[in-house]
Amino acid sequence: MIGYISRRILFALVLVFAVSSASMVLARLAPGDYVTATLGAGARREQIDAERARLGLNRSFGAQYRDWLAGAVRFDFGRSMQYDRPVTDLIPESALNTGILAITALVVATLIGLPLGVVTGTRPNGVVPSAIRGVSLVLLSMPPLLTSLLLVFLAARSGWLPVGGMTSSGGGGLADVLRHMVVPVAALALPLAAMFERLQSQAMSETIGQPYVIATYGRGVPLSRVIWRDALKNALRPVASVYGLVVGTLLSGSFAVETVTAWPGIGQLMLGALRARDVYLVAGCAAAGSIFLALGTLLSDVALAWVDPRSTG
Amino acid sequence: MGQLLTRQLRSIRFVVAALSLALAGCRAAPSSNKGSNARELLVSVRTEPRNFTRLGAREEATDLVALLLHAGLVRINRTTDEVEPWLAESWSVSADERQFTIKLRPNLQFSDGHALTADDVVFSFEASYAVNDTMKVGGKPLAVKAVDEATVIVTFPQPFAPGMRLLDNLVILPRHKLESALKNGTLAKAWGVSTPPSDLVGAGPFVLASYQPGQRLVFDRNPRYWRRDARGEVLPYLDRLTLDVIPDENTQLLRMQSGETDATGSALPAESYASLKQGATAGKIRLYDLGAGLYPDMLWFNLKPGAFAGDPRASWIQRDELRQAISLAVDRKTFLDTVFLGAGVPMFGPVSPANKRWHWAGTPETPHDPERARQLLASIGITPSNPARFTIVTMKGRPSFERAVTVIRDELKKIGVTVDTAALEGNALIQEILVVRKYDAAYFNFSLSDTDPAMSPDFWTSAGSEHIWNPEQKTPAAPWEARIDELYRQQVGAVQDHERKRLFNEIQKIFVEHQPIVYFAAPRVFVASSMRVGNAAPSVVPPRLLWSPDTLTIAAPTEK
């Protein structure tokens, strides 16, 4: 098991390096840079050259990448040109906000999706399971961007919930943050819950017909225990195996959701950095995103190993 | 098993009921900023400032923040377009109209309590010249001398018709805070956005209380602000002004419509008019129709000499006749209806009718005449057997730009010209126009810094960096460009208003004849605010609703 986890950690490190490097390269090679974005189209050439020299953007790409890489191995991702602060100062707060959003969405999606999957998987017919399946299919077909737009629209129309942001001006406090979380969390969690429901339902319907389940039930064990203890554990495997991928989905989804709902997370920070061509911040955000992804994959692998020890082989 | 499922469903119903109650509870709670007694104005902005001095960058968010934190010697009233005394109480001008003796108001203070004197004015000029050219006239700096603590003499290097108007570009910065940065050569970096708010000092109506990158900037009233209203009440009326960073335009609008913010920092797109009108009719928001905008979108060709060397299109792509034919071929009514949903006015020359003082009333109206357009094209060798084809680059993500190039493409197809369109990300577009300069034609928008043409030499003269069709020419590329340069020089130095107007009309006439830029329409400008905002006098000039932040009022917050 230790060897298995070590291999996964090594893979995670390679992933972080590859993603952040690729982001840095792509952001740097894209047309335009921070100076053209800041000074606009009316700037004089000498003004542009002076600003590029000040920010070190006039150096060759190879030199910039080498310096960045040398810093990155010490977790120094350079200085954000846009915010004039070290990237490592800017990332933690945004990463925490994205983490709060993603973990809450994952928990909510799990709490909704898994029980509903058990319901639909153990009861193929009936109005309620059919309705759940229908809603799941609708939610699955909606990308997070569309879900968040719809929810933002509903929030604005009804006045029930804040439309965007993380806190009210002059507000704060847990209750305020929780109210602001409802829309983005729902936008991320609902399609995910639908996916869990579908996967769990499929797995449950297969497991419930297994001989050991029927035998256990035949021995007089109450049905609820058969389903929720014996059958569920085996039926969790498909869901556990996709948790790592789900973290990736959450990150890409949160990119859109954070933009629409003005949630100050990594997605919004990275979008602003991309718009401003703040290459070091882009690379830092990508590194943070890949760390999330690597951690998610690692946790998923560990969970899968716990549910099904054969998977570590 | 059925009983078990019934129990499960009961549990689900319980969860649903609990969620419903929670949501109901949320509804009962105040939805946003209500509940505080502070007179707070909440504004959403799409971008964040690049620094806190306005020296190192000029764009909308930086300008807005500078307007809140700093003050100048004079201010241009955005509704009357007149120069008003601001930190300067009065001034006199010499007989040759080159020297201005400026008296500061008594007892001026920066927000940290330090006296604001003539020395700070001199320093502010020095700071500006160290970083950019915005305060130069004819490429030369103004001579500035402090006579005493409250008197400054400013001498222009040459007669300059706008005179004191130029000083609206200058914010007065504190020498005691920034002198070391100027001496070290680090002024462009000084007061970047990482500066702790407590270190920022200004003479504007507000001070920065906090800045959360990517989230919001909170400004509190400056207790040492100099200005009082007609009744002697200290300004600003607001206790606090908050700029919420909301990058998505739709979310900005929804937040305002739901009462979470009071205004947006930028003008509203034509597409949002219908829903805003509904909100205004329902009494939820105030909608201001400010009329035609000052700065219309524009189509221009790359007129840099040699840009098409070796290209078979070189014989026609930079010719006046092509641009004149395009102007004739595009039906401006169709353009207006499609691009701005009918909310705009047709444009035939470089100055919008909204700029009442400088718009040439004699601008000839180009008719929609495809036949004449075909004749013009034929005169430069473009015929059905030798068709024309070029690409227009524009900015991605601006629906009006993308609609506009589609209309142009469709209209030109009718006269046998094939147009390819390429929507680029904003930064890539600027790179293409400014650095690479290998594009055929571009459709974009530029805002000039002032309505007075004398303040925009970079746009009008051939050596200017905003002379976008062929910037920074060493010598004028064409005789008509040389003629505009000469007229411009005369216009800037002319003392009499009517003479300046005559000269500028002539510039516009030449411009319309050669059409280095083809204009089609100026959109109407809409601004909206919540019903709580009072004393607003919005202007077509950015920052439309917030140009006079010290006189804005806000109704007392009410609990829902």
In this predicted complex, what is the ipTM?
Answer: 0.72
Nearest CA in chain B to A157: B258
**Cα torsion angle, B422, B428, B434, B436, sign:** negative
Contact B193 A43 (CB under 8 A): no
Residue B386, chain A, CB below 8 Å: the answer is no
Nearest CA in chain B to A43: B465
pLDDT recorded at residue B300: 97
pLDDT recorded at residue B37: 67
Residue type, B259: G
B506 or A61, greater pLDDT: B506
A199 or B301, greater pLDDT: B301
Which residues make Cβ contacts (< 8 Å) with residue B535, sequence separation at least 6? B237, B551, B552, B553
How is B8-45 classified by DSSP, letter by letter?
HHHHHHHHHHHHHHHHHHHHHS--SSTT--S-EEEEEE
Residue B432, chain A, CB below 8 Å: the answer is yes
Nearest CA in chain A to B22: A179
pLDDT recorded at residue B252: 86
Residues recorded for chain B: 560
Residues of chain B with C-beta less than 8 angstroms from the C-beta of A136 = none
Integer CA distances (angstroms), B28 to A262, B25, B213, B261, in order = 23, 5, 31, 19
Radius of gyration in angstroms for the set of CA atoms belonging to chain B, rounded to a whole number: 27
**Which residue in the set A38, A94, A164 is minimally distant from B246, CB to CB?**
A164
Contact A84 B194 (CB under 8 A): yes
Evaluate whether B69 touches B51 at the Cβ level (below 8 Å). no
Window 162-201 of B, Cβ < 8 Å to A: 188-189, 192-194
Closest approach of chain A CAs to the CA of B393, in angstroms?
Answer: 14
Residue B444, chain A, CB below 8 Å: the answer is yes
> Please, is B287 exposed, middle or buried when counting C-beta atoms within 10 Å of its C-beta (0-12, 13-18, 19+)?
middle
Does the N-terminal peptide bond of residue B543 adopt cis geometry, omega within 30 degrees of 0? yes
Does the N-terminal peptide bond of residue B197 adopt cis geometry, omega within 30 degrees of 0? no
Nearest CA in chain B to A121: B5
Contact A54 B188 (CB under 8 A): yes
> Please, is B9 exposed, middle or buried when counting C-beta atoms within 10 Å of its C-beta (0-12, 13-18, 19+)?
middle
Residue B436, chain A, CB below 8 Å: the answer is yes
Tens digits of pLDDT across chain B (560 residues):
444 334 443 443 433 333 333 333 333 333 334 345 679 999 999 888 988 988 876 678 899 999 999 999 999 999 999 999 999 999 999 998 899 999 999 999 999 999 999 999 999 999 999 988 889 998 899 999 999 999 999 999 999 999 999 999 999 999 999 999 999 988 888 898 889 999 999 999 999 999 988 889 999 999 999 999 999 999 999 999 999 988 888 888 888 888 889 998 887 888 888 888 888 998 889 999 999 999 899 999 999 999 999 999 999 999 999 999 999 999 999 999 999 988 999 999 999 999 999 999 999 999 999 999 999 999 999 999 999 999 999 998 888 999 999 999 999 999 999 999 999 988 888 888 887 888 999 999 888 878 999 999 999 999 998 899 999 999 999 999 999 999 999 999 998 899 999 999 999 999 999 999 999 999 999 999 999 999 999 999 888 899 999 999 998 755 44
